[in-house]
A and B are shown apart, each in its own frame.
Chain A
Amino acid sequence: MIDLTGTSEFTTTLAQRCHDPYLRCAFYGAAQTALGVTGCCVLAHSPQGCYMLVDAAFDWQGADYTETLILSTKLCEDEIVHGGEELLARTILEAQELEVPIMFVLSACGPEIIGDDIVAVCEDMRSQVNFKIVPIKCAGFRGDQNDGIDIALDAILKELVVDGGKKVSHSVCLIAPHANSNPTWMGDLLWVKEILNRMGAQVLATLTHDTALSEFREVSSAESCIVLSHDAGQKAGDYLTQQFGIEQLCKGMPLPVGFTNTHRWLKELGQRLDAQDVAEKIASDGEKMVVEQCRRKGLEQFFMHREPVAIVADGTVGIPLLHFITEDLEMIPRLLCLRSCLQGAKEILERELEELNLSPKVIYSADVYQSKLALSEVKPEAVFGSNIERHATEELGIPFVFRLVNPISRFRSINRQYFGYMGMLNIIECIHNDWLDRYRSRKRSYKARW
C-alpha cells in the first residue's frame, strides 16, 4: 500500500507558521532564470540585500562575470517612502554604457508593495536605450524559487518569443534545466543535449542556461520541448504547447536517473524523434559501460544491501533517484522528504511507488525541521541528501549521509551529471566517497616513528 502522507504529515495547528526553508524566494528563482541568458544585465530593483540573492543566482547559473552583469538600484528609505521609479529609470539609463544586448529588470518585495510600476518604467525607457528591456515582477512574497522560475519564464517567453511560423523538423526546446538540485546540474543538461544530438534532434533553445538572445527567436519553431525538472518549468511547457503547438516529450515520466528511468526516457525520445535504434544503442552501450566499470572498480553498495534509506531532495533528483537506489542499488527507501509539491511530480511519484511496491513515508514541501523530525522517527541507516542532512544525521546517530544535492560542502570544478549512465557512476562515486569519509578515523592510537 502506498503511504502518501502529503503536506499535512507534521502539520499541527501551528505548523504553517514557522519555516526553516530549503528554498529561497521567487525573486531568486527569477534571477536564476534571467542570468541564464548570456551577456545579459540583470538589474535588481531592490534594496542592496536582495543583490546578494542575485549574486547567488549568478553562481548557480555559472555565469561569467566578464560578460554577464548584475546591478541594483539599492533602494533606501527615501525610495520606499517617495517611490523608486525615478531611480530605476536613471539606473537603466546609466547602464547604457555597459553595452549589453538585453536587460532584465527584477522587482523585489519593497518596490512591489509600494507600487513601483516597473513595467511602465521599462516601457518609458525603451526608446531611450539601445538594448531590450524585460520587466519581471517577481517579489519574494510571490512564492519560492521554483515559482520564481515559472514567473520569469512566463515573462521572458511572452516578451521575447513570437510565432515564427515554420517548424524545424526534429527540433527541441529544453526547459528549466536549472531547477535541479544537482550542484552541477549543467552536466545533466549537457548529457541531454548530447543524447538529442545523437538522435539527430536539434536543440533550438535552452530556457535557460548559456542562452543566446537569438535562441528566443527560434523557440516557436521547435516541434517539441522537454521539461528538465520536476520542480519548475511545467507552466512554460504548457504555454509553449498551447501557444505554438510545441509538443512536450517525456511528459509525466521520471527524469533519466538509473537503468530503468534512463532506458524508458531514451526509448520515448527515440520513438518521438524516429531514432529508436540510436536510443537502444545508447541504452545498451551505457548499461554495459556502467556494469563493466562497477565490476572493474568495485561496488561498495554490496555493503549497504537492503539498508533502509531516506531521500531528502528536490523532486528533480529525489523522484527518479527512488528507482535507481531501489532497483539498481537494492536499498529500501523508507522516507522521502521533497522540497516541492507540483501536482505532476506527485503523480509521477505515486506511479513510481506503485511500480516498485514501496510504501515509504512521504513529505512534500518539507522544511528542515520536518525532515529532521521525520529522520528521527524513521531512523534510516543512510540518507541521500545535502549538507543540511549531514548535520542532522550526526546528531541523530544515522550512520551514513550521501551528499548529492545542494548545498554540499564539496567543490566541483567539473560539471557532473546524475542523468544517464555516466550519471549513475557519478552518484555511485559520491556514495563511495562519503562512505569512506565516514570511516576515516579521527584518532591516532600511536605516532609513526619516521
Chain B
Amino acid sequence: MYDSHIAFRGTLQQLLEKVERGDMVPKLQASHAPPCKFWTAFQVINGIRHMAPVIHGPKGCTYSVSSEYKMNNCEYHGVPLEPTSCTAQNEADVVYGGEAKLLEAVKEAEQRYHPELIVIFSCCCSGIIGDDVETIAHKAEQEVNAKVLAIRSEGFGGDFRSGYENAFSVIMELMEPPTKKMEKTINVIGARQGPTYTEWTEDLDEIERMVYAIGAKINGILCGGCTVEEIRRARAVELNASWCYDWGQKLGDLMEERFGIPYARTGLPYGLKATEEWIMGVAGPLGLKERAIEMVAKETGNLAGEIDTLRRFFDGKTALVEITEFPGPIRALALARMVQEFGAHPIVVNIHPYTVKERMPSIKFLLGQGQNPEVILTKGLFSLGTFRSSWETEAELEMIAALYDNAIYLGSPLRQPGVPQVNLTTMTGYPHFGYRGIRNLARLVQSSMEHAHRPRSRLFREVLYGN
C-alpha cells in the first residue's frame, strides 16, 4: 500500500543525483506549471521605480503580468500604478517583423511616461521571428533621455529561473564604477516585484532591522522597490547579501566576479543558527563582528520563552515539511534545518524534480552547507490535473503521517494530515525570518499544540477535495 504511493524516498543528495541523470523529470509536465521566463524576468525588473517596460509582444502577455504583479499588489503597498506597455504585436508584425515599431514604441514610452529606465522584453513572437531587441535598445538609447535595456525573455527560451537570472544580469549594465566606497553598506539582492510587492515584506523588514542593528546600512534592495540611482551606485558597497539565497545567488556571483564585491553566501535566516549565520555573514566582512555578537546574544536572550516552546514542540518529533502548495522548496529546506536545530527529524515531502532541476545551484549550495534532509516524493505529485494531484497528495500525506507516532506537519492549511500542524501561510505569522520570525513561529507552534485535536471542517474538506 505504502510503496504504491511513493515515487521516491531517500536523501536530498540522492534525489539530486537522480534528477541530474534525468531519471526523475517526467517527460510530460502537462499541469502544475510555474510561470515562463518572460514572466519571471518581468517580475524582477518590475521592482525598479519609474521603469517603463516596453514588451515586444501581443497584449496578452502584457496585461497578464501587469495584472499579476502590479495592479493588485499596488493596492497594498502605497505605490502608484505605473504603466505596463507593449507593442501589441499583430499578425502583420509577425509576418513583416516589428523592429521599426518597437523603436517607435520606445520613443513613445519616453514621451508618455518620462521614465528613468526603459526595459524592452522580448516575447515568444518577437523571439521566433528574430527581432533584435538588443540592437533596437542600443539605437533607441541614442534618441531618448532614459537608459534603455533589453532582455531576451521569450517564454520558451528557458526555465522560469533563467528569467530571474537574465534580468539580474542585465541590470548590471546600469551599475557605474564607484568614485568612493560606501562604508559599512550592503546591497540586499535577490528581491523581486519591487514597488508592488516583494514576497513577504515583513521578512524584508526584519532583514533591514537586523542590518541596521549591527551598525550597517543598506544601499538598496535589488530589485524590491529600488531606484535606478540605487542600482547605479550598487558597486560602491562593501558587500552583497541575499534576501533570498536562491534568487540572489546569480547576481551575487556575477558582481563578485566582475566587480570584486564580496557576497555573503548564507541560506535563509530561519531559526537561531541560520539567523546568526546570516548576520555574521554580513557583519564579518564589514568589520562589525563584535557588535553583531552583542546583538545576537541580546536578541537570543529575549527569546528564551519562545525557544523553549519550539524545543518542546519539535524535540523528538518527525517533522513533515510539505512544499507542494507552500512554502516553496528553498524555504522548506530552511525550515527543515530549523526543525532539526530544535530537535526534530525533518522529512521534506514533495519537492518536485523540476524544481530540483531548475534550482540546482541553490540546492547544491545547501548540500554543501551540510543540509541533506530525508525526502519523500509521492505519486500524487506526478498526477495529471491539479485537482487529482491535490487530493491524492492529501491522502498520501495522511498515510505518511500515520506511519509515525510522533509526526508533526509544517505547511499549508490546504492539508490536514491529522497530526499537529503548523500553518505557515497565516498572514499574521510573518516575518518568519530572523528573531521576530522565531517569535512568530513559536506562536504558530503554540497554536498548533493547543488545537491539534480539532477536526477538518466539512466546508474546507469538500471545497478542497470534492464531495
Question: Is A bound to B?
Answer: yes
Residues of B88-118 at the interface with A, using a CB-CB cut-off of 8 Å, are 88-91, 93-94, 101-102, 104-109, 111-112
**Nearest chain A residue, comparing its CB with the CB of B83:** A20
> Cα distance A140–B128 when bound, in Å?
14
A72 touches B30 (CB 8 A): yes
**Which one of B33-41, B208-216, B261-269 is at the interface?**
B33-41
Chain A residues contacting B455 (CB-CB under 8 Å) are none
Chain B residues contacting A20 (CB-CB under 8 Å) are 62, 66, 83-86
Does A50 have its Cβ within 8 Å of any Cβ on chain B?
yes
Q: Given that A47-B124, A77-B156, A143-B90 are contacting pairs, would A24 and B64 also be in contact in the complex, using a CB cutoff of 8 Å?
A: yes
B64 touches A56 (CB 8 A): yes
A48 touches B74 (CB 8 A): no
Chain B residues contacting A388 (CB-CB under 8 Å) are 71, 81
Q: Distance (Å) between the CB of A33 and the closest chain B CB?
A: 14
Does A15 have its Cβ within 8 Å of any Cβ on chain B?
yes
**Nearest chain A residue, comparing its CB with the CB of B54:** A18
New contact pairs (13) apart from A18-B109, A49-B39, A144-B59, CB-CB < 8 Å = A14-B105, A17-B108, A19-B59, A20-B66, A21-B63, A25-B61, A49-B38, A52-B33, A109-B128, A110-B125, A141-B94, A369-B85, A391-B81
Chain B residues contacting A125 (CB-CB under 8 Å) are none
> Cα distance A369–B80 when bound, in Å?
14
A140 touches B156 (CB 8 A): no
Interface string of B54-88 (1 = CB under 8 A from A): 10011111111011100110110000110111111
Chain B residues contacting A141 (CB-CB under 8 Å) are 58, 89-91, 93-94, 125
**Which one of A93-101, A184-192, A274-282, A295-303 is at the interface?**
A93-101
**Nearest chain B residue, comparing its CB with the CB of A56:** B64
Does B123 have its Cβ within 8 Å of any Cβ on chain A?
yes
Residues of A164-191 at the interface with B, using a CB-CB cut-off of 8 Å, are none
**Nearest chain A residue, comparing its CB with the CB of B383:** A97
A94's partner among B28, B58, B64, B125 (CB-CB below 8 A) is B28
Interface size on B, residues (CB 8 A): 67
Interface size on A, residues (CB 8 A): 63
Does B157 have its Cβ within 8 Å of any Cβ on chain A?
yes
A387 touches B71 (CB 8 A): yes
**Nearest chain A residue, comparing its CB with the CB of B34:** A48
Q: Distance (Å) between the CB of B29 and the closest chain A CB?
A: 6
B60 touches A140 (CB 8 A): yes
A368 touches B384 (CB 8 A): no
> Cα distance A80–B123 when bound, in Å?
13
Q: Distance (Å) between the CB of B87 and the closest chain A CB?
A: 7
**Majority SS at the chain A contact face:** helix
A73 touches B72 (CB 8 A): no
9 contacts between A and B (CB under 8 A): A18-B87, A18-B105, A18-B109, A53-B64, A72-B31, A80-B128, A109-B123, A113-B124, A142-B91
> Cα distance A69–B383 when bound, in Å?
12
B108 touches A391 (CB 8 A): no
Q: Distance (Å) between the CB of A304 and the closest chain B CB?
A: 24
> Cα distance A395–B71 when bound, in Å?
15
Does A91 have its Cβ within 8 Å of any Cβ on chain B?
yes
A28 touches B60 (CB 8 A): yes
Chain A residues contacting B201 (CB-CB under 8 Å) are none
Does B387 have its Cβ within 8 Å of any Cβ on chain A?
yes
Q: Distance (Å) between the CB of A130 and the closest chain B CB?
A: 16
B29's partner among A22, A74, A113 (CB-CB below 8 A) is A74
Q: Distance (Å) between the CB of B368 and the closest chain A CB?
A: 29
Q: Distance (Å) between the CB of A213 and the closest chain B CB?
A: 18
Chain B residues contacting A291 (CB-CB under 8 Å) are none
**Nearest chain A residue, comparing its CB with the CB of B465:** A66
B384's partner among A90, A95, A108, A407 (CB-CB below 8 A) is A95
**Nearest chain B residue, comparing its CB with the CB of A19:** B88
Chain B residues contacting A18 (CB-CB under 8 Å) are 54, 85-87, 104-106, 108-109, 112
Does B370 have its Cβ within 8 Å of any Cβ on chain A?
no
**Nearest chain A residue, comparing its CB with the CB of B75:** A409
B75 touches A52 (CB 8 A): no
Chain A residues contacting B287 (CB-CB under 8 Å) are none
A14 touches B155 (CB 8 A): no
Interface string of A366-403 (1 = CB under 8 A from B): 00110000000000000000011001100100000000
Q: Distance (Å) between the CB of A383 and the closest chain B CB?
A: 14
Does B402 have its Cβ within 8 Å of any Cβ on chain A?
no
> Cα distance A291–B124 when bound, in Å?
54
Q: Distance (Å) between the CB of A72 and the closest chain B CB?
A: 5
Q: Distance (Å) between the CB of B76 and the closest chain A CB?
A: 9
Interface string of B104-143 (1 = CB under 8 A from A): 1111110110000000000111001100000000000000
Chain B residues contacting A108 (CB-CB under 8 Å) are 124
Q: Distance (Å) between the CB of B79 and the closest chain A CB?
A: 10
> Cα distance A141–B95 when bound, in Å?
11
B156 touches A80 (CB 8 A): yes
A53's partner among B60, B89, B109 (CB-CB below 8 A) is B60
Q: 4 closest A-B pairs (Cβ-Cβ)?
A: A25-B60, A49-B36, A140-B58, A391-B81
Residues of B158-182 at the interface with A, using a CB-CB cut-off of 8 Å, are 158, 160
Chain B residues contacting A21 (CB-CB under 8 Å) are 59, 62-63, 86, 88
Does B385 have its Cβ within 8 Å of any Cβ on chain A?
yes
B108's partner among A14, A70, A73, A95 (CB-CB below 8 A) is A14
Chain B residues contacting A17 (CB-CB under 8 Å) are 87, 101-102, 104-105, 107-108
> Cα distance A120–B108 when bound, in Å?
42
B385 touches A69 (CB 8 A): yes
Does B466 have its Cβ within 8 Å of any Cβ on chain A?
yes
> Cα distance A109–B83 when bound, in Å?
24
Chain A residues contacting B128 (CB-CB under 8 Å) are 80, 109-110, 113-114
> Cα distance A5–B80 when bound, in Å?
29
Chain B residues contacting A52 (CB-CB under 8 Å) are 33, 35-36, 39, 64, 68
Q: Distance (Å) between the CB of B350 and the closest chain A CB?
A: 19
Q: Given that A14-B108, A143-B90 are contacting pairs, would A56 and B67 also be in contact in the complex, using a CB cutoff of 8 Å?
A: yes
Does B14 have its Cβ within 8 Å of any Cβ on chain A?
no
> Cα distance A429–B109 when bound, in Å?
38
> Cα distance A72–B31 when bound, in Å?
6
**Nearest chain B residue, comparing its CB with the CB of A55:** B33
Chain B residues contacting A143 (CB-CB under 8 Å) are 90
Residues of B307-331 at the interface with A, using a CB-CB cut-off of 8 Å, are none
Does B386 have its Cβ within 8 Å of any Cβ on chain A?
yes
Q: Distance (Å) between the CB of B121 and the closest chain A CB?
A: 12
Interface string of A61-99 (1 = CB under 8 A from B): 000011001111111110110000001001100110110
Does A23 have its Cβ within 8 Å of any Cβ on chain B?
yes
Residues of B370-394 at the interface with A, using a CB-CB cut-off of 8 Å, are 384-388
